[in-house]
C-alpha cells in the first residue's frame, strides 16, 4: 500500500494524478542486445547544422529563449560541473525571469548557482532527480516557495519522450567536439564518460546548445552534429578532480560489508545468477560491495553475465575486462576509468536515459534486469522505499533510477543498515515514498532479512538455502528494540514539492 494524500493540483505543474499500487514491469530479454541506442539514429534525422558562437549571450539570444520557458542541463560533470553555473550567471545578466529548470540532477557548487538564480527570479520552478545543500535546504524553507518536481531518471526520460514537458533550450556540456560539431563526453582533458541523461534532451529540445572546451579531429560520437544548433567553445567546462566526486567507493565499514555479504547470499540463493543473467547495483558502498562479491562468485563458477547497466564504475569495468560481463550499458560514468573504457571498448556502450529506464521505451534495459541492488534511507512495513529524504524530511539524496530498476528487475534487493546513529531505517511508514513496495522484493539489513510476502518464490529459495528471514514487522520490532520508538517529526505545513512516479503519476509529496 502506498497510502498517501496527494493534492488534486500543484502550482506550476497542473493536475495531479495519484500513483496507484504498482507491480513489476519485468520483460525477459528477447533477441540480441542492442549495439547502439536507437535514439542516436533519431538524433541524426534532426538534420541540423551547428553554428559556432563566440559568446554565450549570442547563443542564448539565437536560441529563442524567453521568460517562462524551460531549460535543461545534465549532471555528468558531477561536483566538477561549471557549465550550469556559467549559463545561469549569463541568464541573470541578460535579465531572464521565471524559467523552469529541468535537471537530471544537481550537486556541489552548481547548487549554489541554482539557488542564486532562484533568489533573483531567473528560475521559478525546478524539476530534478535530486539536489544537495544549500539548494535543498532553501527549497525546504517556506520562504523560497517555488514548485519542485522530483522525477526518476526513467521518469524524466519518459516525460521528455512522451512530450509531457517541452524544453526550449537544452544546454549540453561536452568534453570534446570535432570539426563538424559531433560531441562526446568520453575524451578530452575534462572527459566525464557517458552523456546519456542529455540524449533525450538533445532529441526533444527546440534548440540544443553545446558547450565544450576541447576540439579533436576524430572523436567517438555520443550526440551527432545533426542534433545540435549552437556550439560554444569555452576555456573550461569543469574541474576534472570533481568528476568522480560524490560517487561510490568500496566500503570499509564492517556493518556495510556484512549487509553486502548477506545480500549476495540472498541473490545467489535466488537462483538467478546463471549464464547470461544481468544485474545493476545502485549508488552506495554496500551495493558496490555486493557487485564485488558476485564477481568472485562468477569467477569461481565460471559464469558470464550478459550485461550490467546504469552508472558504471572502475570495478564494473574490471569485471568486464576480466571476461565476467559481456557488455556494459552506461548512462553515467562515475569515474575516469569508466570514461576511458567507454572511449576504447566497443562492448562498453553509451545509452540514453530512455533506453536505460523509460517505461515507454520497448527496449528499456531496466525491464530486462535480472537483479537490482538498491540503497535507501528508509523502508517501511509495506516495503515502500525512501531514497530521497531522511526520516526528518530533510532532502538527503536523489531518486536516481531506483523506481525504474526496482519495477523492472526480476529481483530487487534493498540494502541498508537497520539504523543510522540512533535513527531506525526500518519504520512503519516512510517519510517519502520514492519506490513503491509492490516493486521491492527483499530488504537486507545487518539485523535480518525480510522478503516481500508477494514473493513466495524467493521466500522458498531462501528457505531451501537455509537463509533465515523475518517478516518486516519482526524486523521493525527488532530494530525498535535497539533504538526505541522515535517520536514522529511533524511535516512542514507548506508543500515543498512533489515526487513523480516513472509513469507520470504523483507518488508522494514533501
Partner 1 sequence: MRTLLYTPANTPSMMIQAQVYGADAVIFDLEDAIAPDKKLEARILLAQMFEEWDFETTELIVRINGLDTPWWKEDLIALMGKRAFTVRVPMIETLEQVTLLDRFLNDLETERDMVVGSTRIHILIETPKGVVNAYSLAGASKRITALGFGAEDYCRATGIIRKGPPYTLDYVRSSLVNAAASYGLECHDCAWGFLEDRTGLEEEARRSRSLGFCGKSVIHPDQIEIVNRVFSPTEDEINWAERILSSLSGDVHTVSGQMIDAPVEAQARRILELHSIYTKQEE
Question: Which residues of the chain form contacts with partner 1 (CB under 8 A)?
Answer: 254-255, 257-258, 446-447, 466, 468, 481-482
Q: Give CA–CA dist 46/284, Å, rounded.
A: 38
Give min distance, CB of 379 to partner 1, in A.
18
CB atoms within 10 A of CB 346: 8
Give min distance, CB of 273 to partner 1, in A.
20
Give min distance, CB of 484 to partner 1, in A.
11
* Helices and strands (H, E) in the chain, number of each type: 15, 27
Rg of the chain in Å (alpha carbons): 22
> Which of 235, 466 has the CB closer to partner 1?
466
Nearest to 181 by CA among 216, 138, 157, 146: 216
Is-contact 108 245, C-beta < 8 A? yes
Cα–Cα–Cα angle for 302, 458, 413, rounded to 5 degrees: 75
Nearest to 315 by CA among 331, 293, 300: 293
Residue that is written with C-alpha cell 568486464 in the block: 320
- How many alpha carbons fall within 13 Å on the CB side of residue 254? 0
- DSSP line for 115-129: HHHHHTTSEEEEEES
Give min distance, CB of 426 to partner 1, in A.
15
> Which of 134, 484 has the CB closer to partner 1?
484
> Which of 47, 466 has the CB closer to partner 1?
466
> Which of 123, 267 has the CB closer to partner 1?
267
Give min distance, CB of 444 to partner 1, in A.
13
Give min distance, CB of 416 to partner 1, in A.
14
Is-contact 218 236, C-beta < 8 A? no
> Which of 142, 482 has the CB closer to partner 1?
482
> Which of 249, 257 has the CB closer to partner 1?
257
> Which of 81, 446 has the CB closer to partner 1?
446
Q: Give CA–CA dist 372/402, Å, rounded.
A: 9
> Which of 68, 481 has the CB closer to partner 1?
481
Is-contact 446 419, C-beta < 8 A? no
- DSSP line for 52-96: EES-HHHHHHHTT--TT-EEEE--TTGGGB-HHHHHHHHHHHHT-
Give min distance, CB of 476 to partner 1, in A.
16
Q: Give CA–CA dist 248/236, Å, rounded.
A: 25
75 three-class SS: coil
196 three-class SS: helix
Give min distance, CB of 485 to partner 1, in A.
16
> Which of 33, 258 has the CB closer to partner 1?
258
Give min distance, CB of 334 to partner 1, in A.
25
- Cell numbers describing residue 455: 514473493
For 412-427, b/e burial (b = at least 16 CB within 10 A) is bbbbbbbbeeeebbbb
Amino acid at each position: 500500500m502506498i497510502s498517501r494524500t496527494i493534492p488534486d493540483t500543484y502550482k506550476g505543474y497542473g493536475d495531479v494524478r495519484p500513483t496507484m499500487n504498482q507491480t513489476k514491469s519485468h520483460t525477459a530479454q528477447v533477441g540480441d542486445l542492442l549495439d547502439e541506442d536507437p535514439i542516436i539514429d533519431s538524433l541524426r534525422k534532426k538534420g541540423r547544422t551547428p553554428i559556432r558562437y563566440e559568446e554565450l549571450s549570442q547563443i542564448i539570444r539565437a536560441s529563442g529563449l524567453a521568460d517562462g520557458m524551460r531549460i535543461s542541463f545534465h549532471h555528468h560533470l558531477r561536483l566538477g560541473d561549471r557549465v550550469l553555473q556559467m549559463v545561469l550567471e549569463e541568464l541573470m545578466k541578460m535579465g531572464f525571469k521565471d524559467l523552469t529548470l529541468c535537471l537530471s540532477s544537481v550537486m556541489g557548487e552548481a547548487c549554489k548557482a541554482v539557488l542564486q538564480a532562484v533568489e533573483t527570479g531567473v528560475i521559478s520552478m525546478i524539476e530534478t532527480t535530486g539536489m544537495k545543500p544549500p539548494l535543498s535546504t532553501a527549497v525546504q524553507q517556506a520562504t523560497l516557495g517555488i514548485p519542485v518536481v522530483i522525477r526518476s531518471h526513467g521518469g524524466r526520460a519518459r516525460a521528455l519522450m512522451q512530450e509531457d514537458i517541452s524544453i526550449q533550450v537544452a544546454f549540453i556540456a561536452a568534453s570534446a567536439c570535432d570539426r563538424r560539431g559531433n560531441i562526446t563526453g568520453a575524451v578530452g582533458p575534462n572527459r566525464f564518460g557517458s552523456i546519456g541523461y542529455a540524449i533525450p534532451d538533445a532529441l526533444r529540445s527546440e534548440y540544443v546548445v553545446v558547450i565544450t572546451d576541447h576540439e579533436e579531429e576524430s572523436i567517438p560520437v555520443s550526440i551527432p552534429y545533426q542534433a545540435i544548433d549552437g556550439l560554444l567553445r569555452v576555456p573550461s567546462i569543469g574541474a576534472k578532480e570533481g568528476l568522480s566526486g560524490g560517487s561510490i567507493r568500496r566500503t570499509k565499514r564492517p556493518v556495510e560489508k556484512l549487509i553486502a555479504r548477506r545480500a549476495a547470499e540472498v541473490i545467489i540463493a535466488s537462483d538467478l545468477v546463471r549464464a547470461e543473467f544481468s544485474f545493476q547495483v545502485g549508488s552506495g558502498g554496500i551495493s558496490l560491495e555486493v557487485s564485488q562479491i558476485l564477481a568472485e562468485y562468477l569467477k569461481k563458477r565460471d559464469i558470464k553475465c550478459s550485461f550490467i547497466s546504469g552508472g558504471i564504475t572502475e570495478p564494473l569495468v574490471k569485471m568486464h575486462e576480466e571476461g565476467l560481463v559481456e557488455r556494459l550499458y552506461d548512462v553515467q560514468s562515475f569515474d575516469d576509468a569508466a570514461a576511458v573504457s567507454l572511449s576504447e571498448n566497443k562492448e562498453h556502450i553509451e545509452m540514453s536515459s530512455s533506453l536505460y529506464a523509460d517505461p515507454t521505451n520497448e527496449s528499456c534495459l531496466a525491464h530486462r534486469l535480472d537483479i537490482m541492488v538498491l540503497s535507501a534511507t528508509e523502508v517501511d512495513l509495506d516495503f515502500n522505499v525512501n531514497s530521497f529524504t531522511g526520516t526528518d524530511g530533510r532532502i538527503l539524496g536523489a531518486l536516481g533510477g531506483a523506481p525504474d530498476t526496482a519495477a523492472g528487475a526480476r529481483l530487487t534487493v534493498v540494502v541498508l543498515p537497520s539504523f543510522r546513529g540512533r535513527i531506525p531505517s526500518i519504520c512503519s511508514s516512510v517519510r517519502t515514498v520514492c519506490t513503491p513496495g509492490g516493486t521491492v522484493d527483499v530488504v537486507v539489513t545487518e539485523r535480518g532479512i525480510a522478503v516481500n510476502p508477494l514473493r513466495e518464490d524467493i521466500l522458498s529459495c531462501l528457505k531451501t538455502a537455509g537463509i533465515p528471514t523475518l517478516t518486516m514487522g519482526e524486523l521493525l520490532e527488532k530494530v525498535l528494540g535497539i533504538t526505541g520508538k522515535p517520536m514522529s517529526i511533524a511535516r512542514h505545513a507548506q508543500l515543498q514539492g512533489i515526487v513523480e512516479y516513472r509513469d507520470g503519476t504523483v507518488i508522494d509529496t514533501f
